């Protein structure tokens, strides 16, 4: 009986010691883990190159086949490119914060640190490069014209004299019309989807922007048989991923785009998104990633 009691005391003492040891270890682990986690949770903004928990990505919300928000679902080629890049940077798609990036606001969103990346049918231009750094290109599109299905006069950019066109403020297609086709009456809206009712009602004669975007609208069920693309593309729009000026993230994005193209994920994304709108990528696709993030 005495022996049994000693044994019991010994067992309790051993158990207490073990629990104390575990407790102190646990406390240390939790404190370390918590500190690290909190540091990473502050986001990608100021800590380029480090593993990130989340990313804020600017996309279009109203361009079917490219960047479209329906409730809390985001679809389109730009969305898939953005998700692939995020994955390569170690960020789960669930941890992407999608931010609407209308054409005229893209540079400002990056400059004011409201987004880490812009993947929004964003053409690489020298003027924009003064304010943001581009990775890419990841796609080559071309400026086109969307008209009503019964339109016969508009067949290309040289048939636009006196016509009323809709495009979007801060976009390269609007700029090109203003610079090179002075006989056109250009109306600039905030987003391309705002041009659609005006086209259908006859207030305007055509919408001009990238052929990718126009094909996405033309393929919408609600416009079936009412719209068509006129003529051939008349510019080269090299889509880049905008990053904050000088961001180290930019080279990582270049590597991610290269991997997406090499692994076949780019081709699959094109088929799933633009392919569904009957859009076939033009010459130069998939592009070579040549931007130096300057
Ligand atoms: N790719 C052109 C641009 O970046 C037109 C499309 C758009 O406005 O998003 O300006």
CATH number, domain of 11, equals 3.40.190.10
Query: Phi and psi (nearest 5°) for 73?
Result: -105, 135
Question: How far is 91 from 2, CA to CA, in rounded Å?
Answer: 62
Burial of 155 (0-12, 13-18, 19+ CB in 10 A): middle
Q: Looking at the structure, do residues 133 and 78 belong to the same domain, yes or no? A: yes
How many angstroms separate the alpha carbon of residue 126 from the centre of ligand 1?
14
Query: For a substitution probing ligand 1, which of 139, 211, 213 has the most ligand atoms within 8 Å of its CB?
Result: 213
What's residue 11's pLDDT?
42
Decide if 12 contacts 6 (C-beta within 8 A): no
Look at residue 37 and tell me whether its pLDDT is greater than 70. Answer: no
What's residue 52's pLDDT?
84
Q: Looking at the structure, do residues 137 and 101 belong to the same domain, yes or no? A: yes
| Per-residue pLDDT tens digits for 258-294 | 999 999 999 999 999 999 999 999 999 999 999 999 9
| Per-residue pLDDT tens digits for 149-184 | 999 999 999 999 999 999 999 999 999 999 999 999
Q: How far is CA 261 from CA 201, 240, 251, 284, 288, in A?
A: 41, 14, 16, 13, 9
Mean pLDDT calculated for residue range 49-63:
89
Range of lowest pLDDT (15-24, 76-85, 186-195, 258-267): 15-24
How many angstroms separate the alpha carbon of residue 115 from the centre of ligand 1?
18
Query: For a substitution probing ligand 1, which of 209, 212, 215 has the most ligand atoms within 8 Å of its CB?
Result: 209
How many angstroms separate the alpha carbon of residue 14 from the centre of ligand 1?
70
The structure's pTM equals: 0.84
Q: What is the mean pLDDT of the chain?
A: 88
Q: Looking at the structure, do residues 209 and 294 belong to the same domain, yes or no? A: no
What number does the ligand 1 atom closest to the CA of 170 have? 10
Mean pLDDT calculated for residue range 122-131:
98
Mean pLDDT calculated for residue range 42-59:
70
Tokens of 153: 């006069």
Q: Looking at the structure, do residues 34 and 119 belong to the same domain, yes or no? A: yes
171 CB under 6 A from ligand 1?
yes
Closest CA to 85 of 208, 212, 257: 257
How many angstroms separate the alpha carbon of residue 103 from the centre of ligand 1?
6
What's residue 106's pLDDT?
98
Query: For a substitution probing ligand 1, which of 137, 172, 242 has the most ligand atoms within 8 Å of its CB?
Result: 172
Q: Looking at the structure, do residues 188 and 75 belong to the same domain, yes or no? A: no
Q: Looking at the structure, do residues 116 and 199 belong to the same domain, yes or no? A: no
* Domain extent for 27: 1-142+238-294
How many angstroms separate the alpha carbon of residue 118 from the centre of ligand 1?
12
Question: How far is 228 from 206, CA to CA, in rounded Å?
Answer: 10
Query: For a substitution probing ligand 1, which of 68, 103, 165, 177 has the most ligand atoms within 8 Å of its CB?
Result: 103
Radius of gyration of the chain (CA): 26
Question: How far is 57 from 192, CA to CA, in rounded Å?
Answer: 20
State how many domains the chain has.
2
Of all protein residues, the one whose alpha carbon is nearest to atom 1 of ligand 1 is 123
The neighbouring-strand residues paired with 209 are 144
Tokens of 157: 């950019």
End residue of a domain, out of 229, 264, 281 = 229
Decide if 220 contacts 128 (C-beta within 8 A): no
Name the pairing type of β-strands 185-189 and 164-168.
Answer: parallel
Mean pLDDT calculated for residue range 210-220:
98
What's residue 50's pLDDT?
54
210 CB under 6 A from ligand 1?
yes
Of all protein residues, the one whose alpha carbon is nearest to atom 9 of ligand 1 is 121
Question: How far is 88 from 225, CA to CA, in rounded Å?
Answer: 41
Q: Looking at the structure, do residues 79 and 157 belong to the same domain, yes or no? A: no
214 CB under 6 A from ligand 1?
no
End residue of a domain, out of 212, 229, 246 = 229
What's residue 25's pLDDT?
38
Mean pLDDT calculated for residue range 111-128:
98
Closest CA to 138 of 27, 287, 284: 287
Confidence of residue 86 (pLDDT cuts 50, 70, 90): very high
End residue of a domain, out of 176, 196, 229 = 229
63 CB under 6 A from ligand 1?
no
Q: Looking at the structure, do residues 186 and 207 belong to the same domain, yes or no? A: yes
Length of the chain: 294
Question: How far is 179 from 6, CA to CA, in rounded Å?
Answer: 97
Q: Looking at the structure, do residues 59 and 88 belong to the same domain, yes or no? A: yes
Residue 130: CB atoms within 10 Å: 9
Q: Looking at the structure, do residues 250 and 137 belong to the same domain, yes or no? A: yes
Percent of the chain at pLDDT exceeding 70: 83
What's residue 107's pLDDT?
98
Q: Looking at the structure, do residues 270 and 242 belong to the same domain, yes or no? A: yes
End-to-end CA distance of the chain: 83
C-alpha dihedral sign at 62, 284, 237, 123 = positive
Mean pLDDT calculated for residue range 222-234:
96
Look at residue 69 and tell me whether its pLDDT is greater than 50. Answer: yes
Q: Looking at the structure, do residues 157 and 274 belong to the same domain, yes or no? A: no
Look at residue 247 and tell me whether its pLDDT is greater than 90. Answer: yes
């Amino acid at each position: 009986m005495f022996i049994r009691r000693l044994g019991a005391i010994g067992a309790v003492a051993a158990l207490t010691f073990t629990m104390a040891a575990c407790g102190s270890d646990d406390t240390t682990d939790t404190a370390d883990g918590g500190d690290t986690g909190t540091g990473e949770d502050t986001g990608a903004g100021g800590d380029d190159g480090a593993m990130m928990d989340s990313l804020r990505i600017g996309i279009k919300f109203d361009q079917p086949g490219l960047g479209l928000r329906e409730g809390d679902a985001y679809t389109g080629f730009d969305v898939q490119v953005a998700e692939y890049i995020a994955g390569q940077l170690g960020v789960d798609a669930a941890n992407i914060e999608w931010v609407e990036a209308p054409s005229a606001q893209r540079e400002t969103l990056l400059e004011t640190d409201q987004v880490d990346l812009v993947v929004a049918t964003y053409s690489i231009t020298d003027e924009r490069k003064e304010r943001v750094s581009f990775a890419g290109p990841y796609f080559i599109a071309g400026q086109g014209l969307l008209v009503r299905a019964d339109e016969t006069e508009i067949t290309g950019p040289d048939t636009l004299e006196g016509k009323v066109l809709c495009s979007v403020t801060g976009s390269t297609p609007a700029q090109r019309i203003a610079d090179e086709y002075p006989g056109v009456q250009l109306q600039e809206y905030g987003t391309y989807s705002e041009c659609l009712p005006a086209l259908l009602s006859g207030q305007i004669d055509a919408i001009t922007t990238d052929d990718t975007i126009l094909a996405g609208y033309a393929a919408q069920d609600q416009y079936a048989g009412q719209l068509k693309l006129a003529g051939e593309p008349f510019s080269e729009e090299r889509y880049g991923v905008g990053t904050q000026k000088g961001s180290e993230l930019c080279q990582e994005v270049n590597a991610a785009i290269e991997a997406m193209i090499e692994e076949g994920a780019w081709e699959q994304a094109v088929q799933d998104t633009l392919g569904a709108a009957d859009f076939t990528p033009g010459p130069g696709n998939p592009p070579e990633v040549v931007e130096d993030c300057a």
